[in-house]
Structure 1
Amino acid sequence: MLWRWHFYAGLFVMPFLIVLAITGTIYCFQPQIEPLLYPKLLRVEPEDKRLPAQSLLEKAKTAAPAGAVATTYTAATKPDASAEFIFRLPSGKSESLYLNPYSGEVLGSLSVEDRFMKQVRMVHRALLLGKTGELLMELAACWTLVMIATGLAMWWPRLRLSGVAAFRMSPATGRRGWWKEVHLVLGSWLAVGAIAFVLSGLPWTASWGKQFKALATATNLGRPDANAAAHSHGPATAEDKSLGSHASHDHHSQTAEALPLTEVPWATGLSIVPTGSMGKTPVSLDHVLATAQANGAVAGCQVALPAAAKAVYTVSCFPSDPKGERTLHIDQHNGAVVKDIRYVDYGPVAKAISYGTSLHMGRYFGLTNQIICAAISLGLMGLAATGFIMWIRRKPARALGAPSYPAALPPMRAWLVGLGLLGLVFPMTGVTLLLVWLIDRVVARVTGVPKTRPGNITV
């Protein structure tokens, strides 16, 4: 019966695993790939002195298309990196404009939506199908957990009998036997990494991830509460506390994830963006950057530029080391820090997710992390491929070729509890689990699927 469920799960997730593996591996190596794709835009010859950021912003505004509004500035992380400003066009789309930070020369522009890595990311997340694609990818991730769990259960007797030898290929009979050995060994080596991949990616999904973030935010297990997020101003005001407790009900309040930022830490995505003071003369972008640096912000942060009179600058830092995550809201008129959210302010759930995200994206410990992530991703693609080959070699013509329905079943209480809990935690998955179980029972009853005794299946 476990083999039967493993078959259903594998058949469903197979194409999604291949897409996730290819796109995930490409996106993991974004720091190395993008400079090769756009060398004239992203790289410059380092010189002794940079131009002020405010001067670069003014030059960018002059060179931008008519009607374009500057929304975001990305602080350079390396001496040979260009300065990037993002503009919102009258059409509603966004465009990145690149300047030489030493000479002010305009290097060119790129569409934010059409950028290669943006497309790769959207395929990885939603197959370029919008909300439908996001739900399909989320469902595939959850069914991957079913596939891994049932696969490990069938491999477990081999581990008990053979010990560490279970992680090596055994002599096989025929081509199908050889593919089976490859599949078993790949699965045994990749299981832990695959589970970690799935669990670290789920908090970012569109349906369950969104609800989970809202729950973590409401219980202060995710983002920090208002009392913890005002380092520069002492205790939180009554307004801060009100915003913190009623964020989900105030449709007029803007959250950090609604800002024109390409990357926002998971913990601060639903935090409310505060308002600043009124004034006539805004502070310069250089003053904002200096304030952020003085408050411990690391290099490579993005700055969301204020879009209204009382709007604030938002500095969002999303570095490789989660401990460097930072979100600062700075008053555009007096330059004061209105709100400062640090990693130490996060709840325990958000801290764990921050580390999981950094590891998932291959960013935490450099190239080694990237290689490990790529190996897991491509290994999962190998699992999908070997499973497909075994299925094609085994299945009869014009038949699905599912494993035979057993004549008798043990109680399998632990599995029923486990799948029930999975369905409760992930309701969409629970519905599909129940649907597959009902279809499987009906098909087995109506078609009279040949039955075997449990002892006849060789694992």
Structure 2
Amino acid sequence: MLAPHPNAAAAASNAEVIAHRRTLWRWHFYAGLFVMPLLIVLAITGTLYCFQPQIEPLLYRDRMVVADTHGPRLSRDILLAKAAASEPPGAVPALAQIETDRTRSAEFVFRLPSGESESVYVNPYDGAVLGTLSVEHRLMKQVRNLHRGLMLGKTGELLMELAGCWTLVMIGTGVALWWPSRSNARKGGVWLPRLSLQGRAWWRDLHAVGGVWLAIGALFFVLSGLPWSGSWGKQFKALATTASLGYPKGAWGEARVHSTAPATARNEHDMHAMHGMEMKMDDLPLHQTPWAVGATTVPDSANAAASAARMPIDDVVALAARNGIEAGYGIALPSKPTGVYTVSYFPADPRAERTLHIDQYSGRVLSDIGYASYGGVAKVISYGTSLHMGRYFGLANQIVCSAISLGLAALAVTGFVMWMKRRPARELGAPARPVRRAPMRAWRGSLTLLGVIFPLMGATMLAVWCFDRLAFGARRAAA
């Protein structure tokens, strides 16, 4: 039997390399076509939201900032009463935001008869009502809604979740396409773009080199953001809880809490559970809630006599301070006779995260959940969230996150320019399919694994594969 000619073997190897590269390029193209427009939205909204602590006091200075008179401040219950007097009949107080900065106004959130919520700002020194802001329509809330779901509700959340998943494909294929061979490494354009090039080659170098530098940041953004997504994130949270790796399993003893519920409260809690009426932390009108406790059950206060007085808010603040919670947190106010005060502390350092449920009459701490109570997965996600939002390292963290976000937006622009420069008129311009099918077992295995981990993404990958076969199956590039 004759041995194959060396030239034939080399040609076969070269054809396999071309098939391998074209397959990667084709998937990179499809991923980019879907992801890039959404990536620009994510980058711009993420950058804006990252600077929320600086933007809002400037934007709403007339309501949020007051002059420090160096005098005593009115009690929070008096301030709440003044805020309530300015609201329409039927408005229900839902939240007190606690700040110790003497130049910040007191903020209270009310549920309006229309179903929406409104923040009322009060001067803590003289009790003057400074103004209101719609919780749903304030700028940063709109920015956050755009970032999470394009302001399209559940449909938008699913689209953004898919964008995150497909970004993983885009990162993987992009790095594989960039990966230098020995000959390419000598030509340059690996770690620094060759600015002497012209035309599409210049844009390609800028896109490829920039993409590699930003790949780790993009991967981090995706992996730290997906646990907050509306579909997969909820399922992941439930799975982590089942494996005792997520949030504490319950409010009465299954978690490592500091106290147990009184018998009367426990009986009422069981009755609510039987009728599917349990309130979760995510249901409370808090501005922000730690990921780890979002699905935990809110307990009830013990039954009290009709004449029992509710604990003053200032006493709740003092109790929180004794438990190490000083400022920058929200107190969800009791919404029913058996409701509780819920203190939710979501600081920059996740190790200080804390959730307290306090009996509204006796001041007893019914549940105390801190970082030490979290499972391993929840602890990692808490750190990821703080870094993702630009909070952990302060301004430096904000600048790094913004640079990565805006860099990814620039990649979307360079990718679009490259597409326009190579796309034939009135055609999609997808890279041609190779004549031969490259084995690429590791690549196919990785896609399959992603499809299993992210079922929604798996379904769309199958749809893209079918579309590619049906629409372009007969059109292949010459090897």
Given the two structures, how large is their TM-score scaled by the length of structure 2? 0.89
Q: Who is 2:57 aligned against?
A: 35
For 1:54 and 1:224, locate their aligned partners in 2 and report how far apart those are by CA, in whole Å: 32
The residue matched to 2:35 in structure 1 has which SS? helix
Q: Who is 1:457 aligned against?
A: none
For the pair 1:417 / 2:445, whether they are aligned, the reply is: yes
Q: Who is 2:409 aligned against?
A: 381
For the pair 1:209 / 2:237, whether they are aligned, the reply is: no
Aligned length: 450
1:324–1:343 CA contact under 8 A, matched in 2: yes
Q: Who is 1:199 aligned against?
A: 223
Query: In structure 2, what residue type is equivalent to 1:432?
Result: T
- Judge which range, 145-154 or 50-59, deviates more: 50-59
Deviations 1:152-203 (A, max 9, x none): 0111125895399721112554211111111011101100000000110000
Query: In structure 2, what residue type is equivalent to 1:26?
Result: L
Q: Who is 2:279 aligned against?
A: 254
Q: Who is 2:205 aligned against?
A: 181
Q: Who is 1:52 aligned against?
A: 75
- Aligned partner of 2:174 among 142, 148, 151: 151
Query: What are the equivalent positions in structure 2 for 1:22-421 lying under 5 Å apart?
Result: 22-48=44-70, 49-157=72-180, 162=185, 166-170=190-194, 173-226=197-250, 227=253, 229=255, 231-233=257-259, 251-279=276-304, 280-421=308-449
Shift of 1:36: 1.4
Query: In structure 1, what residue type is equivalent to 2:46?
Result: G
Q: 1:171 to 1:249 in 2, by over 3 A?
A: farther
Q: 1:92 to 1:242 in 2, by over 3 A?
A: closer
2:237–2:246 CA contact under 8 A, matched in 1: yes
Q: 1:360 to 1:241 in 2, by over 3 A?
A: farther
Query: In structure 1, what residue type is equivalent to 2:84?
Result: K
1:243–1:272 CA contact under 8 A, matched in 2: no
Gaps of 5+ in 2: 1-22
For the pair 1:434 / 2:457, whether they are aligned, the reply is: no
For 2:292 and 2:35, locate their aligned partners in 1 and report how far apart those are by CA, in whole Å: 29
Shift of 1:8: 0.5
For 2:53 and 2:394, locate their aligned partners in 1 and report how far apart those are by CA, in whole Å: 10
The residue matched to 1:452 in structure 2 has which SS? coil
Q: 1:351 to 1:247 in 2, by over 3 A?
A: farther
Query: In structure 1, what residue type is equivalent to 2:259?
Result: H
For 1:318 and 1:91, locate their aligned partners in 2 and report how far apart those are by CA, in whole Å: 29
2:265–2:302 CA contact under 8 A, matched in 1: no
Deviations 1:178-231 (A, max 9, x none): 111110111011000000001100001111011111222233211124446464
For 1:10 and 1:242, locate their aligned partners in 2 and report how far apart those are by CA, in whole Å: 53
For 1:34 and 1:277, locate their aligned partners in 2 and report how far apart those are by CA, in whole Å: 39
- Judge which range, 141-150 or 220-229, deviates more: 220-229
Shift of 1:236: 10
Shift of 1:305: 0.3
For 1:385 and 1:15, locate their aligned partners in 2 and report how far apart those are by CA, in whole Å: 9
The residue matched to 1:451 in structure 2 has which SS? coil
Q: Who is 1:451 aligned against?
A: 477
Q: Who is 2:25 aligned against?
A: 3
Shift of 1:282: 1.1
Q: Who is 1:17 aligned against?
A: 39
For 1:68 and 1:422, locate their aligned partners in 2 and report how far apart those are by CA, in whole Å: 47
Shift of 1:233: 2.2
Larger Rg: 2
Shift of 1:133: 0.7
For 2:406 and 2:201, locate their aligned partners in 1 and report how far apart those are by CA, in whole Å: 22
For 2:299 and 2:261, locate their aligned partners in 1 and report how far apart those are by CA, in whole Å: 15
Deviations 1:22-63 (A, max 9, x none): 111111111111111111101011233222112211221222
Query: In structure 2, what residue type is equivalent to 1:190?
Result: L
For 2:312 and 2:273, locate their aligned partners in 1 and report how far apart those are by CA, in whole Å: 33
Q: Who is 1:456 aligned against?
A: none
Q: 1:138 to 1:67 in 2, by over 3 A?
A: same
Q: 1:210 to 1:159 in 2, by over 3 A?
A: farther
- Judge which range, 47-56 or 132-141, deviates more: 47-56
1:70–1:86 CA contact under 8 A, matched in 2: yes
Query: In structure 1, what residue type is equivalent to 2:50?
Result: C
Q: 1:422 to 1:240 in 2, by over 3 A?
A: farther
